[in-house]
Structure 1
Amino acid sequence: MNTPDSPRLTRVETPHLYAYTAGHGPFTLLFHGGMGSHTHWIRNLGPLSHHMTVCALDLPGLGDSPDVAEGTDANAYLDLVWASVSRLVEHQPTVDIIAFSFGSVVASQIATQLGERLRRMTIIGPGGFGIPKGRNMDIRKRDKSSKNSDDEVAVLRHNLLQGMIYKPSAITDETIQTQLHNVNRTRFNSRVVSFEVSLPQNLKATHCPLQILWGEQDRYAFPSVQARVEQCEAARHFTKHILPDCGHWAQYECAGEVNELLIDFHARH
């Protein structure tokens, strides 16, 4: 999927995941969210690639990457990711990370394995705080037999507004098609990883400059964005930004503001 600002991406295939690279500057791994792919960064890759070398992943069992074995648990999944990421960064003296949602949980583990090579890290709307007991979201099931029908589009729009996007006006045909494309290629249940209680301890084990972004209206941040902020603050110091009138998929809904924050943090220091 391309937009007028999309860079020319080069695909790199590893045994367990595919990566899409472009640009120049600090080598930066981008980890997408659950039921997603590198297209979670569709509004970011172009602007970022002018300031850094972006390496946007399709994580195992998601996007165009290879399948994972049935029953793969969190530890086994993270081992698959590291086996491939370690190849991608083999010749990089330093590495930056930008990650979203489920991808933040994966990235936080990779960060601990990169050690002193990790230069800077941003996570957006992170998971990794355990099962959100009591969170009530009206996510509807699609009728897969009615592909591209008005009914399917209505369900996708409803679900996006329940979890990913705050402002109805932010949902365009591009949003629907990106979501549909990603959902149809999802073969791994990312909650196996994102419902682990792992993010705070992983953050505590990292020592690079850290930036965390939340959409103020992020419903996945349960029981509240502030509660998630406090859990992260208990682990370590970081730079915090809470974006008003913005949902979970902040780098899409508030792309301009997020791009500026990412470029400032990763490319101007």
Structure 2
Amino acid sequence: MKWEGYRRSDNVEDRRGSGGGRVGLGGGRLSAGAVIVALLGGLLFGVDPLTMLGMFTGGGSAVEEQGPAPAPPPGDIRATFVSTVLADTEDVWTSLMQQEGKAYHAPKLVLFRGAVPTACGRGSAAMGPFYCPDDQRIYIDLDFFDIMDNRLGAGGDFAQAYVISHEVGHHVQNLFGISEKVNRARSSMSRAQANSLSVRIELQADCLAGVWAYHSQKSKGWLEQGDIEEAMNAAAQIGDDALQRNTQGTVLPESFTHGTSAQRTDWFTRGLRTGSINQCNTLEAGRL
């Protein structure tokens, strides 16, 4: 992915040195194994990621928004990459939402280590990158990219870009009012029904990530051979069935909250192939 030299977003906050807290056993950083356990816990028990955050950090209640945070320091290559990808999502979604007659209000992206206060509760690196609709921020502990590479077999810069664009997809859902509607519906459902609806929301975010990739490549042509395969592999490796099979050897479909590997790659591909938001209506799709 030829990402160097493009515009960087001004919407990145660096809270890695703010003392937000280190989550771990015996006071240390959260281990890669604990991250996998947290991911699996959410899959097995159908727990919303932000609820899992509270379980790891002892929180879950709303946290007051902090003051402004500095931008990442010059020379931080990984932060520069994230800022560059975020900037491109801003360009793409500003244009696409204008076509829908809506204004795009870009999310902030917060870099943190270990744990961080959010408007959705105390966040943790345990669940990987996540989006908080209450403060319209994406939270990323950049060490998760090492987990993707070394533990999940999902390395590569465009795989990382896919993860960022997936979280931006949740922000787009929030701007369209989809998130609020779905959360209201989930509150009155059984666990199995709520899980099924969560799958549809996650697959829609995958499709929206594909829509971004289509328009990003069309405007910049910055993808290289193998980049699309990286994103596809990342989507496959973090499918519910793949994570459950690889960590416990048993697949429990009723506990799925994000979709199977095949579903995640299929919906990302649909967005990538068409570049159309209208092709991402997973909520009304008869077959996922």
- Normalising by structure 1, report the TM-score: 0.29
* Structure with the larger helix share: 2
- Normalising by structure 2, report the TM-score: 0.28
